[in-house]
A and B are shown apart, each in its own frame.
Chain A
Amino acid sequence: MHSIKSVNEFVIRFANVNGTGSASANLLFAKSLFRMGIPVSPRNVFPSNIQGMPTWYEVRVSEKGYLGRRGGGADIVVAMNAQSLAQDMRNVLPGGYFLYDSTKPLDPALVRSDVNILGMPISEICLREYTDPRQRQLFKNVIYVGALAALLDIEFEVIKGLIADQFKGKEKLIIPNIYALELGHQYASTNFKCPLDVRVKRSDQVGDKIMLDGNTATGLGAIYGGASVVGWYPITPSTSVVEKFMQYAKRLRIDPATGQANYAAVQMEDELAAIGCVIGAAWNGARAFTATSGPGVSLMTEFLGLAYFAEVPVVLVNVQRAGPSTGMPTRTQQPDITACAYASHGDTKHVLLFPSSPKECFDMTADAFDLAERLQTPVIVMSDLELGMNDHLSEPMQWDDERRYDRGKVLNEEQLDEIERFGRYLDVDGDGICYRTLPGTHAEKGSFFTRGTSRDRYAVYSEQGDVYVDNVDRLTHKFKTAATLVPPAKITRQGKGQKIGLIYYGTTAAAISETVDTLTEKGIKVDSLRVRAFPFGQEVADFIDSHDQVFVIEQNRDGQLRSLLINELEINPRDLKAVLHYDGLPITARFISGRIEELLLDAGNKKSTRNVASR
């Protein structure tokens, strides 16, 4: 039989039942390859459920550093879920491998002649070795990792080192775990031809990179960015942002002398209250944030309008998931671009940041506090489930100790003393950003009413047309100032004068280097631009102008960023072709390059048809 031959370039898929402890064993597998210097990208594909349903964990191993989802079948499937055996067998590529628990014989109807089937009686081994039912379940997972170590030639010392790290402080657990690993390793070495043709080899492609999920990095970004008040409400896939914030705050934000907390994280009753808490804290001069997902954003929109109009700095992290409504709560998408850019009734616009890696989650979250306070407006960090909840290879996080927080235009007591008359909404500097005061600053001056109603430059309620227009036009001017302060787009060119441009953002980034390579192999050269913020900078408009064909690649059905580009930069819709992927799984290079080829072919055909017609 033909067998796939590949070193450090394959996909392995684990099929498990959720709630059985497989997640930590699967992470152990991925991390051992990472520690061998091999680029990996693990992904959980999990249900919105706590126990008993099928769940998959897919690891792409790529020496070339292609870390987007590959798509298609897997080279190796570790089938540990009896419920999904048929589906999992279908998922193996021809010539691939299917490792299953042979305690119960495989249904002959499932057997494929083009797949290498490796049966290992894992349950039987556990039954023999352990008496405690919980151990029988948990060690199954460790045993298959041991078997994979033999099958794929993973350095055993690396896995042992990881186990020692994992159980630091609980040394009693190290020996039984290593024993279970050895059980698997021994069985595989004795019964299969090890290593397989698909295997790994130590590499140097990881460098000083780290492996972590975006939500952890976001939580840390909020710690480093100086957030001291958090109002929150749990929702998948954003919950771990605040959980990680609190976990690190318990270590890093407790005053050593007094034991008091230099932060307050309040679990509110819903998302409305969560953003309300943030607005109240920010109004009072603390750096505050909340994290949510689509349904939470919908609930927060009234308050976002208040923060926009009353000009209160707010940091909101939106870890997007597939909508609309409850949608697919455990599947990824980029479906909230429009909802966030224009959240709330009336003429509103919000600053958006689009991180594409854990490092950027950290940086952009910390920066969001500076931007929000500088601009006195909500700043929304647009992460997604793929970035937030999965582990990624990432540049390490860095903090410049010389950096000082930009607290924006806030007048203190002395400054108020020097002012004749304080006007909360006076555009003194001409950048659309006015000076604010914090409650309790001055005994006589600086108090004003913060409100969602129209007001004049001195914060006095007004329904006069000219006063209203003066204010909302200044807000437009402020938004233009925002365009100069947000992170600019990243542009990558393939030499000079390319005619095709790709525009993308967020987690689509993981698939782009592979897309560009694939297209180049086919003779299609492209430049690419990664949008990192809204409002768009001039460089985005220039990029579109300087390319004949521009593809906007997104993970939603309606091409929401494309609409935003058309609307905000006054682009002719015909100049932007949409490449849209929205089945809830992360976008792949295969899909992008395939779709672009199709569209180019289409355009070519139309052109020649037109040419024929004109003759």
Chain B
Amino acid sequence: MSYQKSSFRHPNLAVNDLGLTHRDYEGSLSTLCSGCGHDSIGASIVQACHELSLPPHKIAKLSGIGCSSKAPTYFLGKAHGFNSVHGRMPSIVTGANMANRDLTYIGMSGDGDTAAIGMGQFAHVVRRRLNMLYVVANNGVYGLTKGQTSATSDRGSKSKGGEENLLEGIDLPTLAIQLGATFVARSFSGDKNQLVPLLKAALSHRGFAFIDVLSPCVTFNNHNGSTKSYDYVRDHIQTASVTDYVPVKEEITTACPPGVCRDICLHDGSILRLNSVAENYDPQDRAEAIAAIERHKAKGEILTGLLYVDPAAEDLHEVMQTSHRPLNTLSESCLCPGNDRLQMINDSFR
């Protein structure tokens, strides 16, 4: 690579519980277009992981193919990464998670990688309730192949060349809720204040956490007529609730008056506090969550924030009752039944 990231760091950078600064969570220098929403998502992931004091090397970041899938190179440089094949990250992360339940899994995907070629794998990783964070950097366009319309592009949205999309766009959060995701949110790469707490909550959630992040493509989908441009998204965003993430160690000092805010306790004891709840929105009501997304869509609005959460649901390991010790640490003594057993098995075939 022709560019090297400077190793210079400010001496007074804030350190987390592990004594690490946010620089310890960064990756290599981005090669995405300047102003790309995906880089903002990466920066939010860096901040969320830093603030949660997750050991960077205990995170695995996996992706498919596309601009979004290149993004993991640009955050969490101390974590192993897997840039797999187009639309197939969900199966890779399923196997990885089965092998080692102790790591934190971040899947980074795009709208093409998830809603088109990867739709089948996406649907099934959701219904398996794999314990992971699945982020879609959603820009409604194929960037790496230079500007083709994607499956999440809204009907009526115009391409850079002025062509109108005549087909229905897929709403991924709706789909994720229907398929059994236990944490579903939508956010905007341009709104770190909303995105970072959502990421922190999603990373603390046990089970399948999905965040659809509108992430404008500055090169191919940021023009007038596009419904995924910075301007359009800013003008049409509606927040279901403002989410605060309160880690386990912090005491909650302010009470939560009903009707104004709502506290949801996550599996690890941390608290999700939802403020300024729109229309008394209940994010633990699946049917209502889907209805709310539809209602806002009908008004031309994009509903963001935490859309649905079920903090008590079991993840795939619990369903399958797999060993609490990661399977990749088991040795011969646990795995191999030995020759005596084999001779008994032989006898059963005589």
Q: Contact residues of A with B, CB < 8 Å?
A: 35, 210-212, 220, 223-224, 226-229, 231, 248, 252-253, 255, 258-264, 266, 268-270, 272-288, 302-303, 306, 396-401, 404-405, 437-444, 447-453, 460-461
A276 touches B88 (CB 8 A): yes
Instruction: Write the chain A residue with the least CB distance to B95.
Output: A280
Smallest Cβ distance from A367 to chain B, in angstroms?
14
- Would you give the 0/1 interface string for B69-81, flagging 1 where the beta carbon is closer than 8 Å to chain A? 0001100011111
B91 touches A264 (CB 8 A): no
Q: Which residues of A contact B73 (CB under 8 A)?
A: 449, 461
Task: Report Cα–Cα, A197/B338, bound state, in Å.
Answer: 47
Known: A262-B323, A280-B82. A400 touches B98 (CB 8 A): no
Pairs of residues from A and B, 5 with the lowest C-beta to C-beta distance, nearest first = A276-B91, A280-B95, A286-B99, A281-B95, A439-B80
B85 touches A303 (CB 8 A): yes
A441 touches B94 (CB 8 A): no
Which of these, B97, B323, B336, contacts A226 with CB under 8 Å? Answer: B336
| In the assembled complex, B298 has its CB within 8 A of some CB on chain A | no
Which of these, B55, B77, B99, B342, contacts A280 with CB under 8 Å? Answer: B99
Interface size (B, Cβ < 8 Å)? 61
A443 touches B55 (CB 8 A): yes
A258 touches B328 (CB 8 A): no
Task: Report Cα–Cα, A226/B60, bound state, in Å.
Answer: 24
B95 touches A302 (CB 8 A): no
Task: Report Cα–Cα, A401/B316, bound state, in Å.
Answer: 33
Task: Report Cα–Cα, A564/B112, bound state, in Å.
Answer: 39
Which of these, A260, A272, A442, A448, contacts B91 with CB under 8 Å? Answer: A272
* Chain B 76-115 residues near chain A, CB threshold 8 A: 77-85, 88, 90-100, 102-103
| Known contacts A262-B335, A284-B60, A437-B80, then 12 further A-B pairs from the complex at CB < 8 Å, ordered by chain A residue | A223-B337, A224-B337, A228-B335, A262-B327, A266-B95, A266-B316, A273-B90, A273-B120, A280-B62, A280-B98, A281-B328, A447-B81
Which of these, B82, B91, B103, contacts A440 with CB under 8 Å? Answer: B103
Smallest Cβ distance from B122 to chain A, in angstroms?
10
B323 touches A288 (CB 8 A): no
Task: Report Cα–Cα, A401/B317, bound state, in Å.
Answer: 30
Task: Report Cα–Cα, A269/B121, bound state, in Å.
Answer: 7
Q: Which residues of B contact A269 (CB under 8 A)?
A: 120-121, 123-124
Q: Contact residues of B with A, CB < 8 Å?
A: 1, 55-58, 60, 62, 72-73, 77-85, 88, 90-100, 102-103, 120-121, 123-124, 128, 316-317, 320-324, 327-328, 330, 332, 334-339, 341-343, 345-346, 349-350
Instruction: Write the chain A residue with the least CB distance to B346.
Output: A396
Known: A276-B88, A440-B80. A285 touches B328 (CB 8 A): yes
B82 touches A283 (CB 8 A): yes
Which of these, A228, A268, A274, A401, contacts B339 with CB under 8 Å? Answer: A401
Count, A-B residue pairs, CB within 8 A = 226
Task: Report Cα–Cα, A400/B340, bound state, in Å.
Answer: 10
B100 touches A439 (CB 8 A): yes
Task: Report Cα–Cα, A226/B99, bound state, in Å.
Answer: 13
Q: Which residues of B contact A279 (CB under 8 A)?
A: 84, 91-92, 95
Q: Which residues of B contact A231 (CB under 8 A)?
A: 91, 94-95
Instruction: Write the chain B residue with the least CB distance to A302.
Output: B85
Task: Report Cα–Cα, A139/B329, bound state, in Å.
Answer: 51
What are 30 A-to-B residue pairs whose CB atoms are below 8 Å? A210-B349, A223-B335, A252-B337, A259-B321, A264-B317, A264-B320, A272-B121, A273-B90, A273-B124, A276-B92, A276-B94, A277-B94, A280-B92, A281-B98, A283-B92, A286-B95, A286-B100, A306-B85, A397-B345, A398-B339, A437-B80, A440-B57, A440-B60, A440-B80, A441-B57, A447-B78, A448-B81, A449-B81, A450-B83, A452-B85
A443 touches B83 (CB 8 A): no
Task: Report Cα–Cα, A441/B58, bound state, in Å.
Answer: 8
Task: Report Cα–Cα, A220/B336, bound state, in Å.
Answer: 10
Instruction: Write the chain A residue with the least CB distance to B127.
Output: A269
Smallest Cβ distance from B337 to chain A, in angstroms?
4
B99 touches A229 (CB 8 A): yes
Task: Report Cα–Cα, A263/B327, bound state, in Å.
Answer: 7
B338 touches A401 (CB 8 A): yes
Task: Report Cα–Cα, A185/B311, bound state, in Å.
Answer: 66
Q: Which residues of A contact B85 (CB under 8 A)?
A: 302-303, 306, 452
Task: Report Cα–Cα, A380/B30, bound state, in Å.
Answer: 38
B91 touches A277 (CB 8 A): yes
Instruction: Write the chain A residue with the least CB distance to B79.
Output: A447
A438 touches B121 (CB 8 A): no
Task: Report Cα–Cα, A220/B341, bound state, in Å.
Answer: 11
Known: A211-B350, A226-B336, A396-B346. A261 touches B322 (CB 8 A): yes
Known: A281-B95, A286-B99, A443-B57. A273 touches B121 (CB 8 A): yes
Smallest Cβ distance from A507 to chain B, in angstroms?
19
Q: Which residues of B contact A283 (CB under 8 A)?
A: 82, 92, 95-96
Which of these, B99, B327, B336, B350, contacts A224 with CB under 8 Å? Answer: B336
Known: A273-B124, A286-B100, A399-B338. A442 touches B327 (CB 8 A): no
B323 touches A258 (CB 8 A): yes
Task: Report Cα–Cα, A453/B63, bound state, in Å.
Answer: 13
Known: A212-B349, A438-B328. A460 touches B100 (CB 8 A): no
A280 touches B94 (CB 8 A): yes
Task: Report Cα–Cα, A492/B280, bound state, in Å.
Answer: 82
A444 touches B78 (CB 8 A): yes
Smallest Cβ distance from B61 to chain A, in angstroms?
9
Smallest Cβ distance from A288 to chain B, in angstroms?
6
Q: Which residues of B contact A211 (CB under 8 A)?
A: 349-350
Residue among A35, A228, A401 with max Cβ neighbours from chain B (10 Å) = A228
Task: Report Cα–Cα, A453/B85, bound state, in Å.
Answer: 10
